[in-house]
Amino acid sequence: MKPEEQVLLSLLKKSQFGIDDNIKWDSVDMDALYNEASLQSVLSPVASYIPVEFSNSKWIEAQYRQKASYIRYCHAQDELKSILDDSGISFVILKGNASAISYKEPSLRMMGDIDLLMPQDLYSKTKKIMSDKGYIVGEDNGRHCHFRKNGQEFEVHHHFSHFEEIDIENFVINGLNSREIVSVDNHEFPILPKLANGLVLLDHFRRHLESAVGLRHVVDWMMYVYRNLDDDFWFSHFKQVVEEKGMDKLAITITRMCQIYIGLPMTITWCSSADESLCEQLMSCILSSGNFGRKNEKGHAVEAVSTNLRKIGLFRWLQHAGEHNWKVYHKHHWLKPFCWFYQIFRYAKQGFKTGRNKKQLKGDLDRSKERYELLKKLGIG
């Protein structure tokens, strides 16, 4: 583990649990630490814990940017909630503030899109309402639709689960019928109940682990566990569900990893059976990729495709990719049997260009093999 990675983990411990590792700041490369925190999308949670004498304008500006960004984010969320409430649209917020609510300081979680989910029978109505209210419609991939307004991105979902072997849709839909109203910094919004919300976070981590997952995903899960998933709730509700879905080993490993590296309290004992060498491999994988594979740049796409090919096979990958990429299919679902053929044509048209030389491609493929082996060890390969 690089020195800046060790310091970053120590700062996350302090930011969420007040644990002080007595960092020797004189020996810290502050630029390398800043870059690492940025690549892992955890810059704002740690920036305010840099000692004044070692801070500089970049760290201070990061704090001000986060404050402004979070205000805009919450304003956009409030505006959309008001519009949908007035139109009788029942929905929940996914990830985003639904994750931030578990943080020690929710406003410091770095945000991206505003994700919301509603019943499928309200999806078309929601799209029309948002369009009428000035939201610019983007791509609809058949599972969710992109919107944009005043610089803020939105994803409107009528399904959460991808069309694959692990499907938690029933829990999510049932959760829509028993949603909870919560508040962060006086901003009210609806979220899924804690069982469904935890399944969403775990499954989101799983899906991104197949390509690249960063420390922001890890902290989201860790703080959910800290606030909700004690031994009683694990054994009474959560354990059976994740065993049925084949994600129990993943949940146990991530949680124990958080105890070892990021200060999650040892009072949570349901993860004590974890293989600590596997925890180490998982942390190494996370640190090497960055959030959404930012450290690997163009190689991320090659690694992600190669990992999925290893996992599900050539034909299933072509079909899956074709369903995602073929815009005509999103409007005419009877074309589904031909999606794999469209994807072959798409690759041929692109000429399989990757922008990677032979040495880089070999590194991408080696990382893909390592990631696939890790997925198998975690029971999700």
Same domain for 227 and 86: yes
Question: Last residue of a domain, which of 273, 292, 311?
Answer: 292
Residue 66: per-residue pLDDT? 94
Residue 345: per-residue pLDDT? 66
What is the mean pLDDT of each successive set of 10 residues along the chain, which is 381 residues long?
94 96 93 94 93 92 94 96 96 95 95 93 94 93 87 91 71 91 94 96 89 90 98 97 95 98 97 97 90 55 55 65 74 76 65 55 58 86 70
Same domain for 321 and 269: no
Where in the sequence is the domain holding 53, given as residue range(s)?
A: 3-292
Same domain for 302 and 192: no
Question: Last residue of a domain, which of 257, 292, 327?
Answer: 292
The domain total for the chain is 2
Same domain for 122 and 9: yes
**pTM for this one?**
0.84
CATH number, domain of 74, equals: 3.30.460.40
Same domain for 198 and 155: yes
The position carrying tokens 């299933």 is 316
The position carrying tokens 């490369």 is 29
Question: Last residue of a domain, which of 292, 324, 347?
Answer: 292
Q: What DSSP string describes 31-89?
A: HHHHHHHHHTT-HHHHHTTS-GGG--HHHHHHHHHHHHHHHHHHHHHHHHHHHHHHTT-
Q: What is the DSSP letter of 270?
A: T
Q: Which residues of 26-40 are buried (b: 16+ CB within 10 A; e: fewer)?
A: eebebeebbbbbbbb
Same domain for 345 and 248: no
Residue 143: per-residue pLDDT? 77
